[in-house]
């Protein structure tokens, strides 16, 4: 019998009438011949309310007790949903995370799923009942209730769909699908018919709140077809599957408004210091993004990165500790910054995306204070006040409001990653563990660094347009505020075009009267590929640590959900590759 998982978010179960409405959707699916598992969130803004109650008492509530508190919200909804279904004449049973057997680690408030037992759900389904599962929660080995992180009911739903081998996982929410960007910020955003796992994962982790990013890790790993649709109407929504909607370079854009930027200034430039910093941050389970290490001056570098503002206090604590441990000069902290990102698988095959994005932003007179890129995304950090305008400019420059001329078939593809892993084993243990697909070495690259370019709108756009006009394709762009209010820009180019690129940027720096470009003609890029790499906070750290233990200095770092790349001296490339392969042997597919 076909099986379907339906998830209803907070607004979709905000009152008793909406719960009845959701129950009717479940009944319709059951009547069409499906076994049905319903996953629900807490009603309306219940979770926010519970958190604010705790915060009225203290700023630092105990995280175990927070989980006890927050998980109560979902427990109310499952009972009401079961009552609703029974009142409509259907057999139903509500189950908490513990009753189902959703085992997690014991990282309270950010727990990861280790395994899910299907026995109790199967028994109920086989007895003809609709199973109502509490989203967002699980149970640790110690028997404590855990929660999966804000928005985590999506992850519960897709994880259940994965273990049960569901035919589809429907995510019912207050929008009728996934849009090219948040339609509440840009009304001109367009609903997409389908979006690939990689694009959705990246967008979700860069601020598109419509899906919890970790749910997409499950979807990709286990090949679950996810259908995001409206709770309040019956139209078709958006399929999240193995394939992009079209070959357009950009599939969507996102803004993360609640970001903070932190810099550890004057770090002694020696192998191991960056590693030490990120190991401390990883221990605190904080996910960093936009990591930029400035070029060393007088033996010292600055390391900047962004974190969600909610993690900034914890991150500052860590930085103040590391400051002393590594003998850095000071910590700088900037709030009210926003990260605007464009994402698209098509970017891998088409150049020109970066300069187009920078141009669109600079034409609005908006300054970019930090840039990082990876194969399928480009992020720019701007001031919070400029966030919406930046998003609008970027959305419009890539014409995201228009339907692409040629659309791909709206269907899922066979998922490559699961062909190679033993699904049964994956289902029993380590469901959310990292899977590494490959580790590779690229020895065809050079790196150019402009240590002190004028820090004003349009510089990045101008520079990369000039480079593109010379037919040069750049990669791994990073830009950060350097010392004395100048910006540092660094990027990689193929070795074959290094001298051409140097002459282009040399002309620009003399025009600007700024310091001459530096370069490293032979660098190596080490790349680890997999799924959900950025949100697994420990992975970048393990890469740094492995290389540092081998006395290899790490240079530029680029992170995304599906790859982390690090540039090192060419002479260390082969050895670095071997070290990484040994380190990640157990996680390799």
Point out which residues bind ligand ADP (CB under 6 A).
Answer: 9-12, 41, 151, 173-175, 178-179, 181-184, 208-210, 252
152 counts as binding ligand ASP under rule CB under 6 A: yes
- Residue 150 CB, nearest distance to ligand ASP (Å)? 4
Q: In the chain, how many H helices and how many E strands?
A: 18, 24
Beta-carbon contacts of 384 under 8 Å, excluding residues fewer than 6 positions away, are: 257, 336, 337, 338
In DSSP terms, which residues pair with 116 in a beta bridge?
A: 102
Task: Say whether residue 73 binds ligand ASP (CB under 6 A).
Answer: yes
Pinpoint the alpha helices (H) of 2-62. 16-31, 46-57
CB atoms within 10 A of CB 74: 30
By CB under 6 A, the residues from 397 to 426 that bind ligand ASP are: none
Q: Which stretch binds ligand ASP (CB under 6 A): 22-30, 40-48, 264-272, 520-528?
A: 40-48
How many residues bind ligand ASP, per CB under 6 A? 12
The least CB distance from residue 74 to Mg ion, in Å, is 13
Give rounded-to-5 percent helix, strand, coil for the chain: 40, 30, 30
Which spans in 353-458 are helix H? 353-362, 387-397, 416-420, 423-428
Cα diameter, the chain? 79
At its nearest, how many Å lie between ligand ADP and the CB of residue 225?
18
Number of neighbouring beta carbons within 10 Å of residue 406: 8
Q: Which spans of this chain sit near Mg ion (rule: CB under 5 A)?
A: 9, 151
Q: Which residues pair with 441 in a beta bridge?
A: 526
What residue number has its CB nearest to ligand ADP? Answer: 9
Q: Which is nearer to ligand ADP, 135 or 138 (CB)?
A: 135
Burial 204-232, CB ≥16 within 10 A → b, else e? bbbbbebbbbbbbbbbbbbbbbbbbbbbe
Considering the complex, state which of residue 208 and residue 224 has its C-beta at the smaller distance from ligand ADP: 208
Length of the chain: 589
Tell me the closest approach of the beta carbon of residue 222 to Mg ion, in angstroms.
Answer: 20
42 or 178: CB nearest ligand ASP: 42
Shortest approach of ligand ADP to residue 20 CB, angstroms?
Answer: 17
Closer of 46 and 479 to ligand ASP (Cβ): 46
95 close to 131: Cβ distance less than 8 angstroms: yes
Q: CB of 156: closest distance to ligand ASP in angstroms?
A: 8
CA angle, residues 492, 494, 496, in degrees to nearest 5: 140
CB of 279 to ligand ADP, least distance (A): 32
CA angle, 477 then 479 then 481, to 5°: 170
Instruction: Return the number of the residue (151 or 237) whose C-beta is nearest Mg ion.
Output: 151
Question: Which of ligand ADP, ligand ASP, Mg ion, none sits in contact with 178, Cβ below 5 to 8 A by type?
Answer: ligand ADP
Closer Cβ to ligand ASP, 212 or 392, answer by number: 212
How far is it, in rounded angstroms, from Cα 535 to Cα 288?
8
How far apart, in whole angstroms, are the C-alpha atoms of residue 148 and residue 135? 9
* Residue closer to Mg ion, measured from CB, 9 or 237: 9
Which of 35, 41, 205, 446: binder of ligand ASP (CB under 6 A)? Answer: 41
Q: Are 7 and 154 in contact (CB under 8 A)?
A: yes
- 464 touching ligand ASP, by CB under 6 A: no
Is residue 386 within 8 Å of 398, Cβ to Cβ?
no
CB of 154 to Mg ion, least distance (A): 6
For residue 287, the minimal CB distance to ligand ASP (Å) is 16
Regarding 75 and contact with ligand ASP (CB under 6 A), the answer is no
Say which entry of ligand ADP, ligand ASP, Mg ion, none residue 152 contacts (CB below 5 to 8 A, set by partner kind): ligand ASP
Q: Record the tokens describing residue 372, joined without a space.
A: 């990082």
For residue 90, state whether it binds ligand ASP (rule: CB under 6 A): no
If binding is defined by CB under 6 A, does position 47 make contact with ligand ASP? yes
Rounded to whole angstroms, the Cα distance separating 394 from 462 reads 16
CA 181 vs. chain centroid, Å, equals 15
Q: Which of residues 153-212 bind ligand ASP (CB under 6 A)?
A: 153
Q: With CB cut-offs between 5 and 8 Å by kind, which of Mg ion, ligand ADP, ligand ASP, none does residue 73 bind?
A: ligand ASP
- Binding at 174: pick from ligand ASP, ligand ADP, Mg ion, none (beta carbon under 5-8 Å per type): ligand ADP
CB nearer to ligand ADP: pick between 174 and 587: 174
Applying CB under 6 A, which residues contact ligand ASP?
9-10, 41-42, 47, 73, 135-136, 150-153
């Amino acid at each position: 019998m076909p099986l379907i998982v339906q998830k209803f978010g907070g607004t979709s179960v905000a009152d008793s009438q909406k719960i009845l409405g959701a129950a009717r959707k479940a009944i319709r699916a059951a009547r069409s011949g499906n076994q049905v598992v319903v996953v629900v969130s807490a009603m309306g803004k219940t979770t926010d309310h519970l958190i604010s109650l705790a915060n009225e008492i203290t700023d630092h509530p105990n995280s175990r007790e927070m989980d006890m508190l927050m998980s109560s919200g979902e427990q109310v909804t499952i009972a009401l949903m079961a009552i609703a279904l029974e009142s409509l004449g259907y057999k139903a049973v509500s189950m908490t995370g513990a009753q189902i057997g959703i085992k997690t680690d014991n990282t309270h408030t950010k727990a990861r799923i280790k395994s899910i037992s299907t026995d109790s759900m199967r028994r109920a389904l086989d007895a003809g009942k609709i199973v109502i599962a509490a989203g967002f929660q699980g149970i640790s080995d110690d028997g404590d209730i855990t929660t999966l992180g804000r928005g985590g009911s999506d992850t519960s739903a897709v994880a259940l769909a994965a273990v049960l081998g569901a035919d589809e996982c429907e995510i019912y929410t207050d929008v009728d699908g996934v849009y090219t960007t948040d339609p509440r910020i840009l009304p001109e955003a367009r609903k997409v018919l389908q979006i690939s796992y990689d694009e959705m994962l990246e967008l979700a982790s860069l601020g598109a709140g419509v899906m919890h990013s970790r749910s997409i890790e499950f979807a990709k790993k286990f090949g679950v077809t996810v259908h995001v649709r409206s709770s309040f109407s019956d139209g078709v929504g958006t399929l999240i599957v193995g394939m992009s909607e079209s070959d357009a370079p950009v599939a969507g854009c996102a803004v993360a408004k609640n970001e903070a930027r932190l810099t550890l200034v004057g770090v002694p430039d020696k192998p191991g210091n960056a590693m030490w910093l990120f190991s401390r941050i990883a221990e605190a389970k904080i996910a960093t993004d936009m990591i930029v290490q400035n070029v060393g001056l007088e033996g010292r570098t600055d390391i900047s990165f962004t974190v969600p503002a909610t993690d900034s206090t914890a991150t500052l604590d860590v930085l103040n500790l590391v400051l002393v441990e590594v003998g850095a000069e000071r910590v700088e902290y900037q709030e009210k910054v926003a990260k605007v990102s464009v994402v698209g698988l098509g970017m891998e095959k088409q150049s020109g995306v970066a300069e187009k994005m920078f141009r669109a932003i600079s034409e609005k007179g908006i300054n970019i204070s930090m840039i990082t890129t990876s194969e399928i995304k480009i992020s720019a950090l701007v001031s919070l006040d400029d966030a919406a305008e930046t998003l609008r400019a970027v959305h419009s420059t890539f014409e995201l409001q228009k339907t692409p001329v040629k659309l791909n078939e709206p269907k899922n593809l066979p998922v490559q990653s699961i062909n190679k892993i033993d699904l049964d084993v994956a289902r029993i243990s380590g469901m959310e563990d990292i899977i590494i697909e490959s580790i590779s070495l690229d020895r065809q690259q050079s790196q150019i660094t402009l240590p002190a370019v004028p820090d004003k709108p349009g510089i990045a756009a101008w520079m990369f347009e000039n480079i593109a006009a010379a037919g040069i394709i750049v990669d791994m762009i990073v830009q950060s505020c350097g010392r004395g209010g100048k910006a540092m820009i660094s990027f990689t180019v193929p070795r074959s075009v290094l001298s051409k690129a140097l002459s282009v940027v040399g002309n620009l720096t003399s025009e600007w009267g700024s310091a001459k470009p530096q370069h490293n003609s032979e660098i190596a890029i080490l790349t680890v590929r997999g799924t959900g790499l950025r949100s697994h906070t420990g992975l970048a750290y393990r890469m740094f640590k492995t290389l540092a233990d081998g006395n290899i200095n790490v240079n530029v770092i680029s992170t995304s959900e599906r790859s982390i790349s690090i540039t090192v001296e060419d002479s260390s490339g082969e050895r670095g590759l071997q070290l990484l392969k040994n380190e990640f042997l157990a996680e390799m597919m």
